[in-house]
Structure 1
């Protein structure tokens, strides 16, 4: 299995266009040693030829131009992207669908909650019907069904399992105030040829016994790295919401609960990678003390263009 990180930043990317915090301002002038990052999206392939997108970032055009593996190869109009799987209906994960409108009909895999949001409050899919069109593939994560295993046409050697996880629906969703099963999913992807497994979850509000069961046995964890600390945005003067308010488990835990670093330390995964990193997170600074903590635990920080082979 081949995994290509197209974008590794959280909403707004890094440096964020309107942010003048120490990290964003410092990165622009070269005073903070940190890579620029576009908004989170990943591509997965069994053979390096055909690819499935996991989320479609608003930066999708830039991301596709910068990755030669995703350039057209056959004929005047072509794309190796054969399908898109959506983890949620957040703007920074679905707006890129509009950037794919010049291509062929888009095969979209998502839960009923996500399809509802994208045909009503934020009708991206309805708009696409006036351009390339879409083919819907409903993932059966809803009600009492908290997981669903499925395949994607053309990817016979990959088995996908969508797993309901704790998180937040978008601000425009009718489920924002009270989470509904299927608002947020993670993916467990297994290569049937060699048994290698990827657990992908760019947004994860908490890790309980159910989440640990799905994460255990994965060869690679590619998970929520949005915030270092619960009160990070408040301390930086960038907002009034905590990590929990925004549906993310920070890397550092407290007396009430373990953080993502604790979770990953206990994992037997060969690769442990943080993705969806907010511009406020000090792990972006490659010389920071927080980055050294991650290095000491063998935890990697995803970057645009990162390639992982399992």
Structure 2
């Protein structure tokens, strides 16, 4: 199994176009030891080959495809290494890139849960718009943990589980979440049995998610905020990280405490990192703490073979 990180930032990317927080300001000025990042998305394959499953289609998808030679197999006049698209939620930063794929020469195979399908046909009708172009062939993601395979991506099984997080702002159940608004995904190499658990939006610890993370050789999980009040402290929002569905890294009950309880052999990688998060500064004390704990920060172009 091979995972290619296309984008590692949260919504807005890094630097965010209209943000003058210390991280964004210093990166633009060349005074921050860190990397620019596009919005969160990965692609996954089981066996080596030209085709991949695109997991979340960010608004930056065109730039990400241009930067990822693996998605340009060049077998025909019009071609792509994207065999199918799998969505973890209906958030803007994970779904609006679908519109950029409208020139597909065939309907896009799209895997998503029922609530996500509802949100993308009603609240934000992206799929209706695509119907005027390439269209989609929707496949339902089961929420009972049963494994499924994706046509065109051999050697790979996937299973999904509901996560405690937030639905998209345009969802009718934004304040009353339902199972399937947000899912964690386990990718399984059918030859080796090795697993990677992926959850870019993770707002609460549960026994089921803990078990899935413990069973995986690598976890690629929510790294949005360092502190729960990060955006409030900077005067950028009135909302805490937890209130919008993201478990902070630091503090009691935070992501770092959780990751520390996983087996020592587990590879731990943070993704969906907000532009305000101090871990984007590779010289920061927060980044030093991650290194001490054996926790990595994903970057655009990172390749993982669990």
What's the CA shift string for 1:116-161, capped at 9, x where partnerless? 01011100011101101110101122xxx4x342111123321100
What's the CA shift string for 1:29-76, capped at 9, x where partnerless? 111111000000000012142100110000000000011111142111
8 A contact 1:222–1:272 mirrored in 2? yes
Q: Which residue of 2 aligns with 1:299?
A: 295
Q: Which residue of 1 aligns with 2:285?
A: 289
Instruction: Indicate the SS of the match to 1:113.
Output: helix
Instruction: Indicate the SS of the match to 1:150.
Output: coil
1:27 matched to 2:31? The reply is no
8 A contact 1:2–1:48 mirrored in 2? no
| Greater Cα shift, 152-161 or 293-302 | 152-161
8 A contact 1:7–1:304 mirrored in 2? yes
Question: In structure 1, what is the Cα distance between the partners aligned to 2:14 and 2:7?
Answer: 10
| Greater Cα shift, 68-77 or 85-94 | 68-77
8 A contact 2:83–2:153 mirrored in 1? no
| Greater Cα shift, 296-305 or 230-239 | 230-239
Question: In structure 2, what is the Cα distance between the partners aligned to 1:286 and 1:83?
Answer: 35
CA 1:48–1:223 in structure 2 vs 1: closer, same or farther (change >3 Å)? farther
Instruction: Indicate the SS of the match to 1:159.
Output: strand
Question: In structure 2, what is the Cα distance between the partners aligned to 1:304 and 1:140?
Answer: 29
Q: Which residue of 1 aligns with 2:272?
A: 276
Question: In structure 2, what is the Cα distance between the partners aligned to 1:88 and 1:108?
Answer: 12
8 A contact 1:252–1:260 mirrored in 2? yes
Question: In structure 2, what is the Cα distance between the partners aligned to 1:208 and 1:154?
Answer: 33
Q: Which residue of 1 aligns with 2:103?
A: 102
8 A contact 2:201–2:221 mirrored in 1? yes
Shift of 1:243: 0.5
Instruction: Indicate the SS of the match to 2:215.
Output: coil
State the TM-score, normalizing by the size of structure 1: 0.96
8 A contact 2:231–2:276 mirrored in 1? yes
What's the CA shift string for 1:217-249, capped at 9, x where partnerless? 201100000000011111111111101111000
Q: Which residue of 1 aligns with 2:36?
A: 36
Instruction: Indicate the SS of the match to 1:295.
Output: helix
Unaligned runs of 5+ in 1: none
CA 1:80–1:253 in structure 2 vs 1: closer, same or farther (change >3 Å)? same
State the TM-score, normalizing by the size of structure 2: 0.97
Q: Which residue of 2 aligns with 1:60?
A: 61
Instruction: Indicate the SS of the match to 2:242.
Output: coil
Question: In structure 2, what is the Cα distance between the partners aligned to 1:85 and 1:11?
Answer: 18
- Superposed CA RMSD in Å reads 1.0
8 A contact 1:168–1:247 mirrored in 2? yes
Instruction: Indicate the SS of the match to 2:74.
Output: coil
Instruction: Indicate the SS of the match to 1:216.
Output: helix
Q: Which residue of 2 aligns with 1:119?
A: 121
Q: Which residue of 2 aligns with 1:162?
A: 160
What's the CA shift string for 1:160-193, capped at 9, x where partnerless? 0011010000111001011101100010111010
Question: In structure 2, what is the Cα distance between the partners aligned to 1:296 and 1:289?
Answer: 10
Question: In structure 2, what is the Cα distance between the partners aligned to 1:98 and 1:271?
Answer: 34
What's the CA shift string for 1:76-121, capped at 9, x where partnerless? 1000100010000001100000011111321000000000010111
Runs ≥4 in structure 1, deviation > 2 angstroms? Answer: none
Question: In structure 1, what is the Cα distance between the partners aligned to 2:132 and 2:71?
Answer: 25
Question: In structure 2, what is the Cα distance between the partners aligned to 1:252 and 1:161?
Answer: 29
